[in-house]
Amino acid sequence: MEYVKQAITTGASNLTVMQFNIITLFPEMFGDPFNASILKRAQEKSLIKIELHNLRDYCKDKHRVTDDLPYGGGVGMVMKPEPLITAIEAIKTSQPEVRTLLMTPQGKRFEQNDAVRLAQYSFLTLVCCRYEGVDERVRSFVDEEVSIGDYILTGGELPSMVVIEAIARMIPGVLGDANSLLDESFTQSMLEAPHYTRPRVFKDMEVPEVLLSGNHAEIERWRQKQALKRTKERRPDLLSKV
C-alpha cells in the first residue's frame, strides 16, 4: 500500500494541513472526541484542522428551520435542501478542491482503503444527516455517500468522527510510529496476529515460546501464520483479497 509506506517514510515537514469541514446541527457533540489523544496532537502539530459549520447559520428564514414534513406523507421529518446546499457551496467557494461526503446508512461502507484514499485530499467536507434523512436533491451536490455499517444511528455526527480519525491516522506525521500502520488489521487484508506483553505467565496462561526466542525470522513466520488463522476463523471474507 503505497500511501501507507509514504506515511512511514515522509515526515511532517513540507506538508500542507489537511482540513476537515463538518456540517452539523449539533457542533457541541464534537468537543471532547477531537480534543484528546491522536486527534488533539495532530491539530497541535498543524497536521490537520477541523472546522465545524453549524447548519442553522446557513438558514435564510427567521426561525432557522432545517427540516420539514415529507411530500407524500410518512413518519418523521426530512432535512431541507436550501441550508444544506448553501453550506456545501459556501465551503466549495473557499476550498475549490474540497471533496464532499454525505454520511448516510445508504452509502458505501467505509473501509480501510477508503481511509487511505481520502487521506490524499487537502480538504474534506462531511455532511451529517439527521431525522429521516436529507431531501434527495442534496445528493447531487456531494461527491460520495459514506456509511460505517449496516445499522441506524440518530445522526451522522458519530460516523463522521469515526471517518475523520481513520483518515487522520493515514496522514504522515500523525502517528508516533507510522510503522504500526503496516501491521494493522485490514492494511494487509488480514486481521492482526495476537499480541502479548508482561507478565510472561498470567492465570496459568503463558506467552508463546517463539515470542521469547529472539529469532525475528521465526517470530515473523509465527505472526503471519497466526494472522492467517485468525482471519480464516473470524473474517474468512477477507481472504479473497489476500
CA-to-CA distance for 80 and 181, rounded, in angstroms? 40
Contact 144, 121 (CB under 8 A): no
Backbone angles phi, psi at 123, to 5 degrees: -135, 130
Range of the domain at 220: 188-241
Q: Considering 168, 198, 213, which residue would you say is the last residue of a domain? A: 168
Q: Are residues 91 and 137 in the same domain?
A: yes
Residue 175 lies in a domain: no
Residues of the chain with pLDDT under 50: 8, 10-14
Q: Are residues 196 and 92 in the same domain?
A: no
CA-to-CA distance for 73 and 56, rounded, in angstroms? 25
pLDDT at position 5, please? 58
Q: Are residues 82 and 196 in the same domain?
A: no
pTM for the complete prediction?
A: 0.88
Q: Are residues 29 and 131 in the same domain?
A: yes
What is the DSSP secondary structure assignment for residue 63, as one 8-state letter?
T
C-alpha 101: how far from chain center: 11
Q: Are residues 81 and 154 in the same domain?
A: yes
- Tens-digit pLDDT profile for residues 47-95: 999 999 999 999 999 999 999 999 999 999 999 999 999 999 999 999 9
Q: Say which residues have a Cβ less than 8 Å from residue 59's Cβ, sequence separation at least 6.
A: 65, 66, 82, 83
Q: Are residues 10 and 80 in the same domain?
A: yes
Cα end-to-end distance, the chain, whole Å: 13
Q: Are residues 235 and 154 in the same domain?
A: no
CA-to-CA distance for 220 and 218, rounded, in angstroms? 5
Q: Are residues 131 and 196 in the same domain?
A: no
Q: Are residues 6 and 120 in the same domain?
A: yes
User: Quick one: which of 227, 223, 219 has its CA closest to 191?
Assistant: 227
CA-to-CA distance for 33 and 165, rounded, in angstroms? 10
Give start and end residues of each alpha helix (H) in 45-194: 81-94, 112-118, 157-168, 180-183
Q: Considering 134, 168, 202, which residue would you say is the last residue of a domain? A: 168
H/E segment holding residue 5: helix 2-9
pLDDT at position 14, please? 47
Q: Are residues 203 and 136 in the same domain?
A: no
Three cell numbers, residue 228? 492467517
pLDDT at position 176, please? 76
Q: Are residues 41 and 132 in the same domain?
A: yes
CA-to-CA distance for 122 and 108, rounded, in angstroms? 21
Count of structural domains within the chain: 2
